[in-house]
Amino acid sequence: MAGLKNLKKTRRIQIIVVAFVALTLSTALIGYAMRDGINYFRSPTQITTEPPRPGEVFRIGGLVETGSLVRGDGNTATFRVTDTKTTVPVRYTGILPDLFAEGAGMVGLGQMQGDTFVATEILAKHDEKYMPKEVIDALKAQGYYKPDGKPGS
């Protein structure tokens, strides 16, 4: 009878250890899988003050600078994105969203190549009052955002 209690106690400890190892392993695998899926948001000012690592993929957001949009050959477009304090040149190859316009809010996904942000994806504002939260926060930090949803001083 004492041997049976000892066996149950041993099995219980083994199950707890196996469950702990499985939980640790699954957490590590989830973290490993998500390492490339997390893209940090940066404003143009943050990019110039704290440059990203070479090859780092991140999101940039701000306003498309008025007069900076140049449509090149094919689907290539260049423009500058600003947070009213700093401006970063952007190059994008692809079809720009219908709502993309100068003076409007945008968020781009890509990486820096030299001094130019090379975007692989561009998101534009949804309607007159919508602007991505990160862009609003960056504009508020610069003192350039009005509560009515429109930029201006």
Question: What does the pLDDT look like over 66-117, one tens digit per residue?
Answer: 999 998 878 899 999 998 889 999 999 998 888 888 888 889 999 999 999 9
Q: Is the model's pLDDT at 17 over the cut of 80? A: yes
The confidence score (pLDDT) of residue 128 equals 53
Q: Which of 56, 41, 53 is nearest to 138 (CA)?
A: 41
Q: Is the model's pLDDT at 46 over the cut of 50? A: yes
Do residues 60 and 106 touch, judged by C-beta distance below 8 A? Answer: no
The confidence score (pLDDT) of residue 75 equals 86
Q: Is the model's pLDDT at 152 over the cut of 90? A: no
Paired residues of 138 in beta bridges: none
- Mean pLDDT of the residues in the chain: 84
